Amino acid sequence: MNNVLVTGANGQLGGALKLIAKQSQNDFLFFFTDKQMLDITNFESVRRFVIENNIHILINCAAYTNVDASEEAFEMANQINHLAVKNLAEIAKEQQLKFVHISTDYVFDGTASVPYLETDSTQPVNKYGLSKLLGEQAIQAVNPKNTLIIRTSWLYASEGRNFVNTMLRLGEERTTISVVNDQFGSPTYAVNLAKAILQLLPAIQNKEVEIFHYSDKGSCSWFEFSKEIMLLSNKRCTVQPIDTKAFPTKAKRPAYSVLNTQKIQTVFQISTMPWKEALQECIGEVLS
């Protein structure tokens, strides 16, 4: 039996891992923690938890994910997305743990026209993306064995604060909404990412830190994503397309952040679900 520590367990991915862990038979004993139970910015607290509970695998789902707030609260974003991640990497190396860290498509600048490879240059256009990139670089500098960085994009779940649930709420409250149609990415259902992580855990065996991309199959604009949400949920809310410049935000977003997922499919034989099918599953869960 492998003991697995999951940080950030109350987030979208952490919740999905809880669900999948209950539904599937596996050789893992999970320890799900949130920031009240375990402060990942405190090196000694995490180290003690790992030793006392004989942890073999660490999955870091904890993150500061408020993109706009990160512009003014960069110290907080940097503490959680960078410095705490460095702590985890050092503990993983010292205790010889398998380590899976979740990162983001926002490490890219969005100027590409084809899906980003793991080896493409990173250049975040906002401070949230910068904090996540610094976390990646800290892991690579520590370089614990059996460590994966998994970048994902446009993550959503049936519960919690995310784009899908926001659109479902607005679909009830309004007859018309406007959504940007010039930002493109790949929506990713947290349950699918959770399944992928549990599938690859037994196969992790690498000397150097490896980066992988995972998202559901296909891409769309936020506008197209919103239209599909309304369609699948039978909301009588019209979605109108607008340009990004008509919807100013504190943080700039990459215009194109689609991820190439061929590497994770090839190395771990992980298949990806078309994003529309995944969205249908999620909305079915919400409405059931």
What per-residue string of b and e applies to 25-49 under the rule 16 or more CB within 10 Å gives b?
A: eeebebbbbeeeebbbeebeebbeb
Given a contact cutoff of 8 angstroms between Cβ atoms, the answer to whether 170 and 118 are in contact is: no
Q: Does the annotation mark 64 as catalytic? A: no
Given a contact cutoff of 8 angstroms between Cβ atoms, the answer to whether 256 and 131 are in contact is: no
Given a contact cutoff of 8 angstroms between Cβ atoms, the answer to whether 155 and 104 are in contact is: no
CB count in 10 Å sphere of residue 241: 16
Q: Which amino acid is at 111?
A: T
Given a contact cutoff of 8 angstroms between Cβ atoms, the answer to whether 55 and 49 are in contact is: yes
- For 221, left (φ over 0), alpha (ψ -120 to 50), or beta? beta
Q: What is the dihedral of CA 69, 73, 76, 78, to 10 degrees?
A: 90
Short-list 283, 171, 179, CA closest to 236: 171
Given a contact cutoff of 8 angstroms between Cβ atoms, the answer to whether 19 and 158 are in contact is: no
Q: Which of 64, 106, 116, 128 is catalytic?
A: 128
Given a contact cutoff of 8 angstroms between Cβ atoms, the answer to whether 199 and 150 are in contact is: no
- For 12, left (φ over 0), alpha (ψ -120 to 50), or beta? alpha
Q: Which residues are catalytic?
A: 128
